[in-house]
Homo-oligomer: A and B are copies of this chain.
């Protein structure tokens, strides 16, 4: 018999409880033993819940029970989640969490604590919701030298960008629709300003490169400035605007994590991932590239990831799977956004004659040393797929401006 507890009975926590009871027989078979949900920690009262007798209001009740092997944290926020999980680990209880904010800020500390007490700290649900990505990246792809990760890591913004294109909606309208459907919060900043995606790319970066990347170190730009015209022009240029959370390994050994809207060419599968779905592309020296796609949020998808971790933690209690990363004591290994090399998507304020635009752009590209660079032009936008550094991108935009072809908006082209 393996006993476990759930911390927090909100959307995810109640989903975990529900999923456990729905698929209990199968879950116990996979775990290799009977399992019991022994406690649910929540300060609120749930007198009518079928699990009313499981509720406790203090972590102490859980810590005092020597039979608890795993605790699943679904509370969100840093405190008291962090203190609770630290205490659990110190009591040799493995922990599982869906809390991306917590792992992005305190991952290295929790992992060290888990290692010190020979138990596990799992967080599959913290990135990509239902999508298995943490375990595949860390274990299945362990033999690869990872060169880059690109992802749609926030379903809300992907839904909004998608609606703008398919229904011809402006950002504000699409946001309202997302709020109406429950895909976006009333206070949408964490989603639309990129903070949620930022936390997730911090976790993936730390995992892939072994050193903790903190959210403050990551260039983060949301989608508020993306217009309907950008979305339509990208579509006409055989691509899509996506909020891409990425991390790339630079030649100087640094890594460059970032969150920003990018033009993604249709050749890349990521451009085809629509609605609230998430997608993570991992590039490695042996695999070339692999994509993981699925529901990035929601009650049952997230519960699936949490419960998968609970099963593994219960089954292999005391087998430490790894210390995934450490706090390097500095963030010097992280490059600034000015070190980004990328292609360039530009939308212009006014429609131009396509042939003239083509000629002028070719001339400018020649001037900055990108002779005969590929170029895709429509009357109000263009894509330059060649990798350009920030100085070159700036020069192109300035030169265009100086000859009266005024850029209205530009963004990097996703490479890969």
A132 to B136, Cβ gap below 8 A? yes
Determine whether A381 belongs to the interface, using a CB cutoff of 8 Å to chain B: no
B304 to A284, Cβ gap below 8 A? yes
A307 to B285, CA, bound (A): 13
Set of chain B residues within 8 Å of A371, measured between Cβ atoms: none
B293 to A290, Cβ gap below 8 A? yes
A319 to B322, Cβ gap below 8 A? no
A272 nearest in chain B by CB position: B272
Query: What is the CB-to-nearest-CB distance from A240 to chain B, in angstroms, rounded to a whole number?
Result: 12
A320 nearest in chain B by CB position: B32
Q: Which of B131, B139, B289, B294 interacts with A312 by CB under 8 Å? A: B139
Q: Which of B124, B131, B303, B311 interacts with A290 by CB under 8 Å? A: B131
B288 to A295, Cβ gap below 8 A? yes
A293 to B308, Cβ gap below 8 A? no
Interface 0/1 of A318-346, CB less than 8 Å to B? 01011000000000000000000000000
A135 nearest in chain B by CB position: B140
- The stretch of A18-26, A46-54, A256-264 that contacts the partner chain: A18-26
A284 nearest in chain B by CB position: B304
* Residue among A145, A286, A311, A321 with max Cβ neighbours from chain B (10 Å): A286
B291 to A287, Cβ gap below 8 A? no
A308 to B142, Cβ gap below 8 A? yes
The tally of residues in A whose CB lies under 8 Å from a CB in B reads 51
B143 to A27, Cβ gap below 8 A? yes
Set of chain B residues within 8 Å of A319, measured between Cβ atoms: 316, 319
A289 to B285, Cβ gap below 8 A? no
Q: Which of B141, B269, B289, B322 interacts with A132 by CB under 8 Å? A: B141
A303 to B322, Cβ gap below 8 A? no
Determine whether A201 belongs to the interface, using a CB cutoff of 8 Å to chain B: no
**What copy number does this chain have within its complex?**
2
Set of chain B residues within 8 Å of A141, measured between Cβ atoms: 132, 304, 308
A294 nearest in chain B by CB position: B290
A140 nearest in chain B by CB position: B132
Interface residues in A133-158 by Cβ distance below 8 A to B read: 135-136, 139-145
A130 to B142, CA, bound (A): 12
Asked whether A286 and B142 contact (CB < 8 A) given A136-B136, A269-B269, A291-B293, the answer is no
A143 to B23, Cβ gap below 8 A? yes
Asked whether A294 and B291 contact (CB < 8 A) given A135-B135, A269-B269, the answer is yes
Determine whether A186 belongs to the interface, using a CB cutoff of 8 Å to chain B: no
A20 to B130, CA, bound (A): 32
A311 nearest in chain B by CB position: B142
Interface residues in A97-145 by Cβ distance below 8 A to B read: 124, 130-132, 135-136, 139-145
Query: What is the CB-to-nearest-CB distance from A230 to chain B, in angstroms, rounded to a whole number?
Result: 23
Determine whether A273 belongs to the interface, using a CB cutoff of 8 Å to chain B: yes
B301 to A286, Cβ gap below 8 A? yes
Residue contacts A-B, CB under 8 angstroms, 19 given: A26-B142, A26-B145, A32-B322, A130-B288, A132-B132, A132-B136, A132-B141, A135-B139, A140-B305, A142-B312, A144-B304, A269-B269, A269-B273, A272-B272, A285-B300, A286-B304, A291-B291, A291-B294, A293-B293
